[in-house]
Amino acid sequence: MNSPDVEKIEKIIADRKAAHQFFFDKSPVYRTFVEMEQKTFKDGQLSKMHKELIAIAISIITSCESCLEWHIKQALDDGATVEQIIEAIEVGFEMGIGPTTVNARFAMKVLQHYS
């Protein structure tokens, strides 16, 4: 990986840690969010690892680089393989691109209407 990418990842980590501490100390709403996050990502009917894989796919769709850094690291720490993470990213591809087919259906109807 080239240096600008490594620097970007390290900056995302540093910024997240600083913001986390700042808001955790000053915001009861943020602390409630952290509590919700901890409850959401604990093992349940889905394992924490599987929840992290879902979060990776959603992070692809929402273009959240900070989310991707966090959830990929968490997934790896929870035992996910690189191949599983790539499959989660592929789900993100499909869910990001797939909904465009709905708009394409309307475009087809407009085209049929005018031609």
For 65-101, write each residue's pLDDT tens digit: 999 999 999 999 999 999 999 999 999 999 999 989 9
Domain holding 57, by residue range, is 3-114
CATH number of the domain bearing residue 21: 1.20.1290.10
Specify the range with the lowest mean pLDDT, choosing from 1-5, 9-13, 48-52, 73-77. 1-5
Rounded Cα gap, residues 87 and 108, in angstroms:
31
Cα(47)–Cα(59) distance, integer angstroms:
18
User: What confidence tens digit (pLDDT) does each residue in 37-66 have?
Assistant: 999 999 999 999 999 999 999 999 999 999
Report pLDDT for 104.
93
What is the tally of structural domains in the chain?
Answer: 1
